[in-house]
């Protein structure tokens, strides 16, 4: 070991379990663990600050949207000017297993005009 002493009994038992020499011990505190989970499953009780935090989330998100909207508009215009025939938001086709083709909005990726056949 790093300290130079004998390994702890727990480490010795773990190495014996991993080597397959002894079976792992069963959970001794099974009932208490079940009781702990049952106690945590009570009905949700909102705290007084939850409404204030939600309002703060909405204010921050709205401010970020208003501040970044001009940048997003400039990027969309530049994309449209760089390739006038292509859409600004790419919509590819996805095929499910045995299902029909469905349109899927990607994360701004560009694709070839014709899909490449797969063999």
Give the dihedral sign, CA 75/77/79/81: negative
What's the CA angle centered on 44, arms 38 and 47, to 5 degrees?
Answer: 130
Length reported for the chain: 119
DSSP 16-56: HHHHTSSPPPPPTTHHHHHHHHHHHTPPP---TTHHHHHHH
How far, in whole angstroms, is CA 111 from its chain's centroid?
26
The pLDDT profile of the chain, 119 residues, written as one tens digit per residue, is 455 567 777 667 667 767 777 766 655 445 566 666 666 666 677 888 999 999 999 999 999 999 999 999 999 999 899 988 888 887 777 777 777 777 666 554 455 555 656 65
């Amino acid at each position: 070991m790093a300290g130079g002493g004998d390994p702890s009994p727990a480490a010795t038992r773990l190495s014996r379990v991993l080597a397959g020499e002894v079976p792992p011990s069963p959970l001794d505190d099974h009932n208490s663990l079940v009781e702990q989970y049952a106690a945590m499953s009570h009905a949700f009780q909102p705290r007084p600050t939850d409404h204030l935090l939600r309002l703060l989330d909405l204010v921050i998100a709205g401010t970020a949207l208003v501040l970044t909207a001009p940048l997003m508009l400039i990027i969309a215009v530049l994309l449209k000017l760089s390739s006038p025939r292509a859409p600004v938001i790419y919509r590819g086709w996805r095929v499910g297993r045995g299902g029909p083709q469905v349109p899927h909005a990607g994360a701004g990726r560009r694709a070839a005009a014709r899909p490449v056949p797969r063999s």
